[in-house]
Structure 1
Amino acid sequence: MTPIPRLSADDRRAQIIEAVTPAVLTHGIAVTTRQLAEAAGVSEGTLFKAFGDKESLLLALAEYHLTMEHAGETAAMPLDTLEEVVSWTLRELVERTRFVFRLVMALGPIGQRAAASARADFEASKHRLAGRFEPFRDELRVSPVVAADVVRTLAWAAASSWGEHGAVSSVDEILEVLLHGIVHDPAVSSTRGGTHGAVVSALATDTQKG
């Protein structure tokens, strides 16, 4: 029988972080080590051995999730057109940004500290996202980096309530502006037909499945 390979220390820490994240989102910084251990299916002693103490675990959790390495930057389906790239990327980023907002708020000062230290990675992510737009450079009015930055900025807007009870702009509304402009053109609207709606609907369904 082939022995089951043991997890490395880093993989074990990542496994624990993934397991305890729902408990942290529910209880925030007040979560107890007992609740964390139960969520991870390990003893409190194992948690202390892996992370040192609760604050160190929560900080490691925040840094783990705020690093784009764990953000699922690779699309889960082939993207053959610029419209598909924009639609998929915006929806993906809105979902991630909502999660990040929730996590940082749950962790309070620990989340804010982790967010501040992740700024360099956040800036680098713009250039990684630009790679999605590079194959469609000739169809863009701006450079791929600018396109990535605009989509990312609008994803932030769609994920934020800006002090309102709900998000100011829906994802579909932002997609309309991104893909077809802010000025209403009846001629363009009539010729566009149902194609855009079908693409958006398919992408939304695949995102939910993922």
Structure 2
Amino acid sequence: MARATRLPAEERRAAILAATEPLVMQYGREVSTRQIADAAGIAEGTIFRVFPNKDAVIDAVIEEAFDTRQTVASLMAIDPDLDLSTRLAQAVEILEARMRRVVAMFGALRGSPAPPPSSSAHESHERRGRESNAKITMALTAVIGPEAASLRIPVEHAADLLRGLVFTVTHPAIGATFSDEPPVIVDIVLHGILTPSTQESRPC
């Protein structure tokens, strides 16, 4: 194998994680460091100059998959000058991509033996989960915010509603019978389940 190009530590770490994620999706924790090295185009020993062991690589891949920073950045990059339906459709696409990645990771790791987490690690994971959800809700609030005065509910509640609906229709065990097309989800959020004629005739 040709000698790998020398990279700064953080870039090397990122490259190893990027090469490892598809392998974890395919093999779970049974993936070997040889497979990781081949996918990353590096010598096997290079992995251990960045990570102490294989479990540390896999744990970092899982952490990366659950990290909300890219999701939040993508939501915040949505053009506020677009109409609300278009902004929400873009937000749904971003949320669905994150959800599918997380679900795929869970599926790949199901049944794979993993070191039991300590109670402090479990609590830390739960705390990060709550913080991640809060950050996504804040980003969605910014997406919806320009129309806050036109909403029937607080904008934060609308953000939670959208996030919850995307979770429901994207999760394979829950939403298999409902369309996950962004325009369909956005239409339900904005207009509910009544037909337009029913909405018009509903007493105030």
TM over 0.5: yes
Identity of aligned residues (%): 29
In structure 1, the residue matched to 2:94 is: 92
1:33 CA drift (Å):
0.8
Consecutive unaligned residues in structure 1, runs of 5 or more: 1-5, 190-210
Which segments of 5 or more consecutive residues in structure 2 lack a partner in the other structure? Answer: 1-5
Q: How does 1:60-79 map to 2 (within 5 A)?
A: 60-71=60-71, 73-75=73-75, 78-79=79-80
CA RMSD of superposed structures (Å): 2.8
Letter in 2 for 1:130: T
The Cα of 1:7 is off from its aligned counterpart by 4.3
* TM-score in terms of structure 1 length: 0.75
| Range with greater deviation from structure 2 (128-137 or 178-187) | 178-187
| Residue 169 of structure 1 pairs with residue 178 of structure 2 | yes
Q: Which residue of 1 aligns with 2:128?
A: 118
Q: Deviations over 1:133-168 (max 9, x none)?
A: 1222122222222121111111101111226xx723
Evaluate the alpha carbon distance shift between residue 71 and residue 51 of structure 1 in structure 2; reply closer, same or farther with a 3 A threshold.
farther
Tell whether the 8 Å contact from 2:68 to 2:136 is kept in structure 1 after alignment. yes
What secondary structure does 2:74 align onto? coil
Q: 1:102 to 1:116 in 2, by over 3 A?
A: farther
Q: Which amino acid in structure 2 is aligned with residue 145 of structure 1?
A: E
Q: In the alignment, residue 29 of structure 2 is paired with which amino acid?
A: I
Q: Give the aligned partner of residue 47 of structure 2.
A: 47
- TM-score w.r.t. the length of structure 2 is 0.77
Partner amino acid for 2:178?
S
- 2:85–2:186 CA contact under 8 A, matched in 1: no
Q: CA deviation at 1:77?
A: 5.8
Partners of 2:78 and 2:127 in 1: how far apart?
31
Residues 17-36 of structure 1: matches in 2 within 5 Å? 17-36=17-36
Residues 3-57 of structure 1, C-alpha deviations (whole Å, 9 max, x = no match): xxx7432232112211221111111111111111111111111111111111000
Quote how far apart the aligned CAs of 1:118 are. Answer: 3.3
Give aligned pairs, total: 182
Cross-structure match for 2:59: 59
Which residue does 2:142 correspond to in 1?
A: 131
